[in-house]
Structure 1
Amino acid sequence: MTPVAITNPNVYTVPDIDSDSDSGDYYRPHNRAKVYRSEEQEKNLIKLGCYYDPLKEYKRTYILQNLKCFDQQYDDKLQQHQLNVQKERENYLETLRKKKEEEKKIYDSLLTEVSNLTLDEEKLNKEFQDELKKQRKAVEEAIAYDRKRTETETAEARSKAEKEQKELEAKERKEKEIKKLKEMQDSDASLSGLEYFKKYYAKIEQYRDTFKPKLQDAAFSKAWFKRKSGIRRTISQLTSNHEFIFTKYKDIYALLMSIKQESNDAYEITLNYLAKEILGQVAQDVANKPYCAYIYARFTYMICSSIPEFTDYLLGRLYKRCPYVVPQFYDGDPNISDKELRAKLRYTYSDKKEKILETFLIHGERNRGFIMFYVGLCQTIPDPGHPPNPFAIKDAWLYLVRLLNMSLRAITPFLVIAVLDIAGKRLLESYPNQMPKIFRMLRNTVLPMMIADVHSDAKSAVQQIDIFLSAYFEKGIAQVVSETPPESTNIVKKASNSF
């Protein structure tokens, strides 16, 4: 066994618990002599965890326990050391303080910068928000503008399409009207006018089949002849005095109602007879005395107003006597003979025995009288307390339009001047925008055509049209036939003939 060498000069003994000795004595080294340890020993102590501080050991062994051995010089050095330590401590603290102050300054500076950055950020944020709003507003305005532009373009495109559609429709309508007008001009009758009068002519056919055979009964015929005898005389006594016309109307109305109570067949026959008598007076008087058209029209409209079924007989008989009231010319068939055409146009005999037909001039003047009577019915304005007029100025307008929409015939000037002489003023009052156009068309288009291809017997009618239009365009008025006869005491003569 290898012996262990003791390197620690201090020898420690286990204290005796029964000993009165101070426990510190056992930790006091036996050899108080100054101990020097080698560097190797110091390292070993450090390795063993027994760090040795020479200064502390010195104080414990020599200064604190033996005050007599206090070394003044050492104490000075110690104090100086403490002062140095204190000074170093203060320097360190000062350095630390300055460092903290520097750090504080840096912190404050950073804080200021941060605050400035915060303010700048708020400002920038506000500016950003403002810019964002501005941009958003610009985008919204751009979208709104684009939408509005799109809507505008769409509306314009729709409007353009609608306009083109309307123009196309107008063009097609115009083409149809032109085609219809051409057809009407090429036609020998106004289709609408023909349909209008045919429904009234049906009443004449019904009379022929149903009521006319009743006159074959001698007793019936004799009784009826007695009752109707006053009708022709009443019509022949009519004057231009409105109250006198109204009195005669009441007489005829009372007679008709009395006959109706006795016999409906006699009543129907009387209505037909009354229509024939009125038209007979028109044929005889109006051509020579145009103002008579007003007299017979005023008397007739009152009867039509109070007895509607009389209108069927009147217009049916008028169409039969004057086909131009449609107007209808019957010249559409190239195979029809001149004799057949004259028969359809209701030419009458100027000499029945010799079978000589009336001339074109007489025929034209007579039918002119019928048209003056017809448009006289349409333009008559009832007096206060008198029956309302079932006819309207619109009917005269339609007739003139139908007439002008057809090709010119030799009879056309007679028919046109008939309308202008009686209803021209009322038409101008009722159609202030359209009638001037009609007058202008007549002067610029129709009249030159009439002059260029006028029938020798129609020159007077063409001149009268020219006079009427010249007066209108020079004075702005429509000069129509006066309702007052040349002599105020003049009374319409009795008709010498009846149809």
Structure 2
Amino acid sequence: MRFNYEELCNIDCPDWYDEDEYTIIGSDDEHVPQLRLPRRAKRDIVLNDNVGVLDSGLVELINNLDLNSKIPGSGKLKSGVWRRKTTSLSKPNNKPTGPAPANLSHEPEIFLSLRQSLAKSISTKLETLEKDNAERVQEVKNEKERIRKEQQRIEEEQKRRAEEQARIKREEAERQRQKAEMEREQQLEEQRRKEEEQKRLQEERKKQEAIEKKLKAQEEAKKVFGLTDFRKVEDTFKHYKHKIKGIKSEIVEPVKKDANLKSILSKHKRRINPKFGQLTNSEQHLVAISSELSLLVDETKANHLGYQWILNFIAKALVSQAETEVRVKPESALPLGKLALNLLARYPELLDFLMARFVKKCPLVIGFTCNIDSEEGRYKMGWKRAQNDSWEEETSYDERMGGIATLFSVITRLPLPPDIISSQVHPLPIAHSWQMLARFANTPTDLLTNTHFVVLGSWWDAAAAQFVQAYRTQAHKLLRLITNELTNAVAERKYVGAARLRILSEDYETSGTLKSFPEMSA
């Protein structure tokens, strides 16, 4: 008997097959293919008693097929029930009978071959299925492991980001807190500083008013030389020395602590400092430099501390320029003095800083004199230490004092700019020159040094002509007093400065005219 594999493996059979005409082996559980063994087709049925029963050997072989070892599943294969729709011999035979199987004795060998083929095919398919299934299971496991690791990585990344965000928020909150605390402290400090500054300004204003009142009284009493109250002169000296200390503690040091303000002021300083060395004998150039300096100073007005710092720097720069350039070229004091006067007229607060610097470097401008036998005395009189820690040479000291006195004298004799002369009072009027000369004349002879006469000679070159125009007869008297009587009092000391002052006086007496610095060109 021949069998088709598809027919045996649960493939749809032709319509002319009757389900009672084939035997089903196996179960449809877990998608296990059923084995169908077709019986003879209806058209081949032979109606006799022998064809209705299978050979016992064939039945035994089929029943011995152990397909459970090759097919997955929990139950055993259901044994096929061999049914055949028999036809009773007593009934008439309506169909033609075919020939009986010719060789039934060979059916066991055929089924043995069939079983072996089926077993091999099923085994191969099952091995393939098991291999594919194992690979699929491993892929699923790998994918699950990858997903698990990716999820773990994402969770760790989210956790790290959350921690980083929390840390950033904490740091930002701390910065905001510190910033608020600093701002509050700065506000308190600024308020305290303003109160102290206001109090200090009130005190200085009172002192300045007292000094101005005294100077005014002296100016009104030009004819009276009188005796100088040197205790008051010393009080004025101490006032400006105290001012220098206050500048350091209340302006310079606070600016050093404020990095931002210090940086801004340093840039202003680098732009301002060269201007003083760029002055020439040209009025037009002087106006340009004055405008540039005014713009730079105005930029600092919004910050009171920075404004004071820049005014103090300008005062230092003016006096320093007098120490270096004016000492060797006295006529350069004229453009420098005009620049200083323009700034003093525009910024009245500059006067206190400038006078403090003048007095610190050259206290003779206010007529202060002390004994220089001690280190303290020399420091008070503006002496400097050399690089080897010894005191500077007397010649160098005299030249420095002469340069500073020249600038001071020029400022006192210059008129205010025409546009403000009727609306403002001169910050350093010619009365300061009168005051200096009168105090020199009343200085005890034992305190007079060559420096006093060097300063008087520098003043003569810078302001004597304008002094005579201002005070006329009284000026002549005072000039004779310092050039004759004062120089005679120290004649035995052979001071070079005193000798030069006498020569200047004799030239004036002979010619009747006083020479002055050449006026600036347009």
TM superposition score normalised by structure 2 = 0.52
Deviations 1:129-167 (A, max 9, x none): xxxxxxxxxxxxxxxxxxxxxxxxxxxxxxxxxxxxxxx
Q: 1:279 aligns with which of 313, 319, 337?
A: 319
Q: Quick one: which of 345, 370, 378 aligns to 1:342?
A: 378
Where do residues 325-404 of structure 1 align in structure 2 (5 Å cutoff)? 325-331=365-371, 338-350=374-386, 352=387, 354-385=388-419, 389-404=426-441
d(CA) in 1 for partners of 2:236 and 2:375? 27
Q: How does 1:54-453 map to 2 (within 5 A)?
A: 180=227, 190-196=230-236, 198-214=238-254, 215-261=256-302, 263-331=303-371, 338-350=374-386, 352=387, 354-385=388-419, 389-408=426-445, 409-410=448-449, 411-453=451-493
Letter in 2 for 1:281: Q
2:366–2:435: 8 Å Cα contact kept in structure 1? Answer: no
**2:498 is aligned with what amino acid?**
V
Indicate if the aligned counterparts of 1:471 and 1:479 stay in contact, CA closer than 8 A. Answer: no
Give distance in 2, aligned partners of 1:395 and 1:252. 26
CA distance in 1, matches of 2:271, 2:336: 17
1:270 Cα deviation after fit: 1.0
Q: Given that residues 238 and 295 in structure 1 are in contact (C-alpha distance below 8 angstroms), is that contact kept between their aligned partners in structure 2? A: yes
Shift of 1:198: 4.6
How far apart, in 1, do the equivalents of 2:234 and 2:281 lie?
Answer: 32
Deviation string 1:209-263 (CA, Å, 9 cap, x unpaired) is 22222213333322321232111111111112223212211111111111122x2
Whole-angstrom distance in 1 between the partners of 2:402 and 2:377 = 19
Deviation readout 1:350-386 (Å, 9 max, x if unpaired):
3x2x213211111111111111111111001245346
Amino acid at match of 2:409: V
Q: May I ask how many residue pairs the two structures share in their alignment? A: 292
Residue 221 (structure 2) aligns with:
none
Identity of aligned residues (%): 21
> SS of 1:288's equivalent?
coil
Alpha carbons of 1:220 and 1:444: their partners in 2 closer, same or farther (altered >3 Å)?
Answer: closer
Rounded Cα–Cα distance in structure 1 between residues aligned with 2:275 and 2:262: 21
SS in 2 for 1:349: coil
The 8 Å contact of residues 359 and 365 in structure 2, kept in 1 or not, is answered as yes
Cα separation, partners in 2 of 1:196 and 1:347, compared to 1, 3 Å: closer
CA distance 1:177–1:443, change in 2 (3 Å): closer
Residue aligning to 2:121: none
Q: CA deviation at 1:449?
A: 2.5
Q: Structure 1 residues 341 and 200, CA, compared in 2 at 3 Å: closer, same or farther?
A: closer
In structure 2, relative to structure 1, the CA distance for the partners of 1:309 and 1:201 (3 Å cut) is: farther
Query: Which protein shows a greater Rg?
Result: 1
Structure 2 distance, partners of 1:383, 1:309, is 18
C-alpha change, 1:258 and 1:443, in structure 2 (3 Å) is: closer
SS in 1 for 2:518: coil
Q: Which amino acid aligns with 1:402?
A: R
User: Larger relative CO (CA 8 A, sep 6+): 1 or 2?
Assistant: 1
User: What TM-score do the two structures reach when normalised by structure 1?
Assistant: 0.54
RMSD across aligned positions (CA): 2.5
Alpha-carbon spacing, 1:309–1:177, altered in 2? closer, same or farther (3 Å): closer
Matched to 1:463, the amino acid is A
Name the counterpart of 2:79: none
Distance change (3 Å), C-alpha of 1:320 and 1:221: same
- Stretch of structure 1 that moved more, 396-405 or 242-251: 242-251
Alpha-carbon distance, 1:192 to partner = 4.0
> In 2, Cα distance between the equivalents of 1:305 and 1:482?
23
Residue type of the alignment partner of 2:469: E
Range that drifts further, 421-430 or 443-452: 443-452
Match of residue 89 from structure 1: none
Contact 1:194–1:327, Cα closer than 8 Å, also in 2: no
Contact 2:312 2:354 in 1 (8 A): yes
Q: How far apart, in 2, do the equivalents of 1:297 and 1:231 lie? A: 16
Once the two structures are overlaid, the 10-residue window that deviates more, 386-395 or 233-242, is: 386-395
> Which whole-Å deviations, capped at 9, do the CAs of 1:243-287 have from their partners, x for residues lacking one?
3212211111111111122x2211111111111111111100111
Alpha-carbon distance in structure 2 between the residues aligned to 1:177 and 1:448 = 19
When structure 1 is superposed on structure 2, of 442-451 and 237-246 the one drifting more is 442-451
